[in-house]
Every structure is written in structure tokens, then in C-alpha cells.
Amino acid sequence: MTLRDDTDGDPTFLLVPRNDNVRDALVHQALGVTATNGLLMQTATRNADSSSNANPSTPMYGHAPISLLPNAFPAHEYVKARRLAPIWNELVARVAYDREWLLRTLESVLPHDDFTRRLVEIYQAIDGAGRDVQKIHLGVNRSDYMLHVEGAASTSSSPSIKQVEINTIASSFGCLSTEVTRLHRYLVQKILGCTRLYTPSWFFPYNDTMRGLAHGLAMAHNEYMRQESCLSRPSTSSQHRRHPCVLMIVQPGERNINDQKLLEVALWEGFGVPLHRATLLEVAGEGHLDLQGRQNLLLKSPLVSEAEEKAGQGEEVEVTVAYFRAAYDPSDYPSEEEWKGRELIEMSAAIKCPCISYHLAGTKKVQEALSRPGELERFLKKPADVAAIRDCLMGLHGLEPGLAGAEEAVKAARASPEDFVLKPQREGGGHNLYGAELVEALVRLAPEERAAYILMEKIRPPPFDSHFVRDGQVLHGAAAFELGVYGVFLGDGECQRVLLNESVGHLLRTKLATSQEGGVAAGFAVLSSPLLVLSQEGGKWARRRQFAELQKYSMSGPAWRRKSSIWRRAVALSVFGGVVLGFAAVAKAVDKRRSR
Ligand code: ADP
Ligand code: MG
């Protein structure tokens, strides 16, 4: 195989295999690496080989759906998306804190959306109870963008990012996206022989999402432990030993298990913090609040036998951080028990990720309400932040009766449904309505019922060529992609005490251009990574600036802080050295004059 090390210009050979032999070699290597690095998902079916002695409940895994090679993405739009993450974090925190605005915004949705209504009821019920025992919240937000081109293909402008939605609960794929970046780097370097991943025209960023998320959870865990250490705890009657843990709330039968397990391992290996998994049903059945303490959430430890329990050698898991990877869809609450579990968590002193007000702040209705004139200004102090957020918003329309512009939007959507998406207040993919279904819904729904939906103008991504790998098979076709940027925030609602607010990494999902939806777990998209194409405008210095900025976003927060602090120290040391030398020279000159 010929090895190439293209340092100038054209990255095309990194995006599409040049012949079938190269493609087959890439697939072969990719499948090996996905298995080695845990870039896997649990398959729905088990191995039904009856002659095998294997435990029938042993889970089976297959590779996660991936794109064979990275996809080209404009570097300046990538940087823009990364810069927006801390602003979105702050916005979510402030919106979630503004109780009166949040309830007013969601009011029109509640009569026709039982799920959102139940969430709001819990939000109101915890007022003064759970809300006050824990003021610090952890946000793991992922803002999703697509590239949008304005106008017809011949006259179109250069593409710019537009937000699809912001996920404030169970933002997944952070760890698998780190692994897919590692896979693509390996394939590009080893199989395509391109050892230099930075050139004057393109840049292949690292993706440290896994560490960034683990770091956020660890900081929240440490903050809880610090709060506990400041309290004088009354002696309790319980003899159980407490084992402080992060609790991951999961769906029963979760298929995207490796994404979660990689995070669990990163949290333990990187920060020494243990993570315990439980469903909402298990929390309801095994959890209770320590009312002698500050409503600490305690669960029965799975490692303790009944005999040990009876002998008073019990152990309980004390939940420091309740990290939701479930509880965002009505199907996560098949009975009242699951609602009880959710309420128990919200009432507790655990730091929630997210707390219920963050969950509500991530609804589509809130996204629409924020796009109205004057609303962003209510929450963000800096005009530059407001302008940056507004610039990435697509046209959004609320549909409640009497709202200015609602009837016009409905008329426009019925006349040209191909330009709109109708969205209910749901997460997880597969709920949106397009084309004929959208028109049918707008005709069928009474004006008050429409208020439970929002209308969004369609984003028009430029199509490009991509190779997908699903179940070991390669599929080739025109594709579109969605860039997700993860932001981690730890602080209070007023943003007076902010312990962490950073952009930690990215997720690129690629889907067939003909597919309307975009979820990986829902089967619409595959995981990919961006190969950033640098703008050649502005000369050498502009390119250097782009490079410096990209380096910053290529490293984890702590690594970047280390690097910049080394620079700061080096500069400080040279200044100090210069001053000392200057003094020495002056002293010498004075000495000389005196001795004369
Ligand atoms: P969910 O919460 O179910 O993920 P999204 O708002 O992310 O809902 O929509 C699901 C998918 O639908 C997206 O991943 C994207 O592919 C597509 N989609 C959503 N909004 C738009 C839009 N305005 N224009 C084009 N496609 C969209
Ligand atoms: Mg989505």
C-alpha cells in the first residue's frame, strides 16, 4: 500500500477511500479497533446457540454504527459552536432559575401534554423542599447544530451553523464520540499513511469529551463531599456504613451501554470516584431520604447479602450526584413507581444532573420562547453573547392561539410543508412531523392543542459524499451531518458561584441526506468525526490565529489550562529575569561611578 503524507491542501483522500481495496482494508481495521476500544453497542438479540454452555443472560455486542472516515467541516463554524457552549450553559442555568418565566412559558403546553405537566407538578412540589437543600446543579448540555445554506444551490452563501435543539438531559454518545475520533485518527494515520494531522489547510481535532464529562461529574461529587464535611451531622440510629457514589439513572435494557460504561471507567480511573447504576424503579424500591441529615439519598448496596444486613453489617450507597441517562421520555415512566423514584431524587440533597428545572429549560417550547424579541436579553448580560446565540437560531414559531405570527406560520407551513418541521415536547428522536403528516396534524389539531407543538423552519445542509458502516456492511451515499457540542456547567442558578463552565468536546453524526431524523440509537445516523477545513482568507496571521484557537479546543480543559499556565509562567519568569538583570546592571553602574 502506498503511504501518503500530504501536507498541502487537498484533504479529499482522507474523506473517501480511493478504491475498493483501500475501502475493504479500512473496514477490516475499523471493525477490529471498534471491538478493541469498546466502540460498541449492545445488540438486541442474544446468541441462541443452544449447544453453547454460555450463560444465556450474557450480553452480546456489535460495533456502533460509524462513518468509515471523517467528514470535512468548516473550521470557523466548528470554533463558533465550541465558543457558544459556555454561553448556552449560562443561559440554561439562568432560565432554569427563573421560576416565574419558566412556568409562564410552559403554561400553554400543559393542558395537552401530560408528560410535561407531570414534570411541572414535581417542579412545583419540590419548591422549598428539594430546591433549597441543594443549590448547586450540574449541567451536561449538548447543543446540536446543522450547517445551513441560504438560497438556491447556484447562489448559496457559505454554510453557517444553525441550532437544531439543546439537550439538557441524558446527552449521550460523549464517550463513543471520543472513541470514534481515536478510530479515525488511527485509520487516517495507519491505513492512509497520513502522519501529519495538522497542515496549513486542515486540522484534525482531538476529542476529549470522555474526560471532560468525567471531570464534571468528579467536581460535582467533590463539591457534595465538601458540603457534607461542613455540616455537623447528628448521630443517626442507622449502623450502616455509607458509600458515597455518583448514581447513573439508566433505562432497563439499555443498548447504548458502552457509552455509559466508558464514562464509569474514566470516572474511576481518572478521579477515583465510584459510579452506581439504578433504574427509576430501583430508586423507588430501594431508596430513602435520611431525614436526620439534609435529605441525603440512600440506596441499599447491591453487594450486601440479607444475612449481612441482618447482622448489622449493612452498607448503603449515598448518592452524591444523580446523573440521568433516562427519565426524559414518557416510556421511562410505565407506572407510578418510576414517578416516585424521580420525585425522591428531586427532593434529595444529591447534586442533580440535571435538576428538573434544567430538564424543563431544555424543552422545545423554551427554545422557541427564547427566540422571541427581547427574551435572550432578559437572561444574558453581554450584548455579544445575545448576538452570538441569536445568530445560530433558525426561525421558530409558537402556535398558541392569540400569539402574534402563529396563524401566519400555520398558513405558511400548510402551503409549503417541505420548509418546516413540527415538533412536540419530546426527546430521543422519531417524534417530529414532516410533509404530509405535518399538514394533516395542523388540520386535525384544535388551535389550543397546537400549542403543545412548535413549528421550526427547516435547516438546509449542503449534501456531501460519505461511507457508512452498519453491521459490518458499507453503505455509500449523499449525507448530511449534525454537530453536537458538549458543555459542562457546575454552579448555582444565579451564576454567583460557578465552579465550572466549559466546552468539553464534540459529537458529529452523519445521516443519509434523504433521512429526516438524526438519532444514532434510533437507527437514523452514524457516529463520525470532523476534519476541519481552515479558511484560506486573511493571510498567514489569520491562519495562525485559527490554529491557536483550534489547539485550545483540541485539548481537554485541564490540559489547556496546564499548557497556558506553563506559557504564563514562562513569560512571568522572563519578565522577572529581565527586571533582575536590569537592577543588577543599574547597581553595577552606580557602584562603578562611586568607586571613581
Ligand atoms: P429530538 O429531541 O427527538 O432529538 P430534534 O429536534 O433533535 O429532536 O430533531 C430530531 C432530528 O430531526 C434532528 O436530529 C435532525 O436530523 C432533524 N431536524 C430537527 N429539526 C430540524 C430542522 N429545523 N431542519 C432540518 N432537520 C431537522
Ligand atoms: Mg436531537
Per-residue pLDDT reduced to its tens digit, 526-551: 999 999 998 878 778 888 888 888 88
- Size of the chain, expressed as the number of residues it contains: 596
CA of 190 to the centre of ligand 1 (A): 35
| Number of the ligand closest to the Cα of 525 | 1
Torsion of CA 245, 38, 468, 210, to 10 degrees: 40
Q: In the structure grid, which three cell numbers stand for residue 65, read together? A: 454504527
* Dihedral angle sign, alpha carbons of residues 443, 448, 452, 456: positive
> What pLDDT sits at residue 200?
77
CA of 367 to the centre of ligand 1 (A): 13
Question: What is the number of the ligand 1 atom nearest to the C-alpha of 457?
Answer: 23
CA separation for the pair 257, 418 (Å, rounded): 36
> What pLDDT sits at residue 116?
97
> What pLDDT sits at residue 76?
92
Which among 204, 211, 145, 72 has a CA at the least distance from the CA of 485? Answer: 145
Q: In the structure grid, which three cell numbers stand for residue 55, read together? A: 450463560
Q: From the DSSP assignment, how many helices (H) and strands (E) are in the chain? A: 20, 21
Q: Catalytic residue positions? A: 142, 165, 167, 172, 364, 423, 427-428, 509
> What pLDDT sits at residue 363?
97
Distances (CA, A) of 2 to 11, 184, 192, 478: 16, 18, 8, 28
**pLDDT tens for residues 550-570?**
888 876 555 666 666 777 778
Q: State the amino acid at position 204 in one-letter form.
A: F
CA of 83 to the centre of ligand 1 (A): 22
CA of 459 to the centre of ligand 1 (A): 9
- Identify the segments of the chain with pLDDT beneath 70: 1-10, 44-54, 128-131, 152-156, 233-239, 522, 555-564
User: Coil, helix or strand for 454?
Assistant: strand
CA separation for the pair 464, 533 (Å, rounded): 14
Is the shortest distance between the CB of 518 and ligand 1 below 6 Å?
yes
User: Coil, helix or strand for 196?
Assistant: coil
> What pLDDT sits at residue 260?
98
In this structure, what are the phi and psi dihedrals at residue 342, rounded to the nearest 5 degrees? -65, -45
Choosing from 427, 517, 520, 527 the residue with most ligand 1 atoms within 8 A of its CB, the one to mutate for a pocket test is 517
Is the shortest distance between the CB of 421 and ligand 1 below 6 Å?
yes
> What pLDDT sits at residue 421?
97
> What pLDDT sits at residue 153?
55
> What pLDDT sits at residue 2?
39
Please tell me the residue having the least CA distance from ligand 1 atom 11: 517
Choosing from 144, 165, 166, 169 the residue with most ligand 1 atoms within 8 A of its CB, the one to mutate for a pocket test is 165
Is the shortest distance between the CB of 165 and ligand 1 below 6 Å?
yes
Is the shortest distance between the CB of 147 and ligand 1 below 6 Å?
no
CA of 285 to the centre of ligand 2 (A): 32
What pTM was estimated for this model as a whole? Answer: 0.91
Is the shortest distance between the CB of 431 and ligand 1 below 6 Å?
yes
> What pLDDT sits at residue 489?
98
Choosing from 161, 173, 368, 421 the residue with most ligand 1 atoms within 8 A of its CB, the one to mutate for a pocket test is 421
CA of 556 to the centre of ligand 2 (A): 25
Is the shortest distance between the CB of 456 and ligand 1 below 6 Å?
yes
